[in-house]
Structure 1
Amino acid sequence: MFVVGLTGGIGSGKSTVAAEFQRQGIDVVDADLVARDVVAPNSQALQQIQYYFGDSVILTDGSLDRAALRAAVFNNEQQRRWLNQLLHPLISQEMQVQLKAASSPYVLWVVPLLVENKLYQQADRVLVIDLPVEQQKLRAASRDRQSIAQIEQVLASQASRQQRLAVADDVIDNSRPLSEVKSDVSTLHQRYLKLSQH
């Protein structure tokens, strides 16, 4: 299976671009969605999280309170390590299952931490969604209803724009109008179709 790894920092527009590829009939494996699935209500992972962190990280409907969990691990290295050791193997395993099950000519693998976790080495092509950091902050803040300070903390924990661009095979500049971004997706789609046939 020909795998295109798509990445970009917070607020860069990964989901928007992935949706465009989906419209072209391409299967998308999204790390964030997989991460949600592995901690779905009644899942073993969620039960372990509840046991470790207590009921404060569980919402009344039995689902994970992501904000509370984020807050709990943000400044606690030991708890973050425990959480990562629990979730990373489960997420990784499920992503491999979904990548293998993909039936489109190539598969789009959307991973926010593609560079940080060195997963780009497992992709045939790396597509980076890029835009200026100031624009990224404003988009992320308006979307997630978080303060610029919170967004800056997330940015500081992610790979820099330069680090992402250094491993990119292809780049979409998402600071432009959506119509131009869509046109880029169509062009890349044709390129990936050709590459996936070799």
Structure 2
Amino acid sequence: MRIIGITGGIGSGKSTVARVFQLLGIPIYSADDAAKSIMTRDPALVEQIKGHFGPEAYFPDGSLNRKFIAGIVFNDRAQLDTLNSFVHPATIRDSEAWARRQQAPYVVKEAALMYESESFHHVDKVIVVYAPQALRIQRVMQRDNVGRQDVLARMHKQLDEQIKLKLADYVIYNDEQQMVIPQVLALHERLLALG
């Protein structure tokens, strides 16, 4: 199964582009959503997290104590890196198993941290969704009801957009200057032609 990655900076419109592919009948795997689920349903991952962060990382009902984990990892980059070193491999394994179950010409894996997590090594091609920083900041402030500094702090945790563009196999511009749907349709035809 050919796996096509979609990534881009926060507020670039990755999810919007993924939904267009989904409307074309292409199965979509959201790595960010899946990671949240995997952190409670993958027994080996649960044990890793409990072993490192302590039993209070989970509530008695088995759900993740997100506030507890966030309080640790968002104040300590080393702890965040440790958590990611547990979660990213489990998510990659889950996405590969999911892809094998699909019946489509190709599938799309959407991941905010595709390059940062090194999961780009596990996809055949990467699409980067690009939008200028000012527009991305505005979108995230409106979407998440947060301030500019909060958005900038999140952006600084992601790889620079210019580096992503250089690493991309394809780019979709979501800059409010070019229409997204025709770009996705054209790219869909190219991906189908890959066989």
Residue in 2 aligned with 1:137? 137
Residue in 2 aligned with 1:107? 107
In structure 2, how many angstroms separate the alpha carbons of the residues matched to 1:147 and 1:105?
41
Amino acid in the other structure paired with 1:188: L
5+ long unaligned stretches in structure 2: none
Is this contact kept in 1: 2:92–2:122, CA < 8 A?
no
Q: CA distance change for structure 1 residues 118 and 58 in 2, over 3 Å: closer, same or farther?
A: closer
Is this contact kept in 1: 2:88–2:117, CA < 8 A?
no
Is this contact kept in 2: 1:115–1:163, CA < 8 A?
no
Amino acid in the other structure paired with 2:120: Y
In structure 1, how many angstroms separate the alpha carbons of the residues matched to 2:59 and 2:140?
24
5+ long unaligned stretches in structure 1: none
Counting matched residue pairs gives 193
Q: CA distance change for structure 1 residues 79 and 121 in 2, over 3 Å: closer, same or farther?
A: closer
Cα deviations across residues 104-140 of structure 1 (Å, max 9, x unaligned)?
1011111211122333233222111000011111111
In structure 2, how many angstroms separate the alpha carbons of the residues matched to 1:63 and 1:149?
30
Residue in 1 aligned with 2:76? 76
Moved more, 112-121 or 183-192: 112-121
1:24 lines up with 2:24 in the alignment: yes
Residue in 1 aligned with 2:117? 117
Partner SS, residue 6 of structure 2: strand
1:191 lines up with 2:151 in the alignment: no
Amino acid in the other structure paired with 1:92: I
**Stretches (4+) displaced over 3 A:** 42-51, 57-68
CA shift, 1:146, in A, is 2.5
1:92 lines up with 2:92 in the alignment: yes
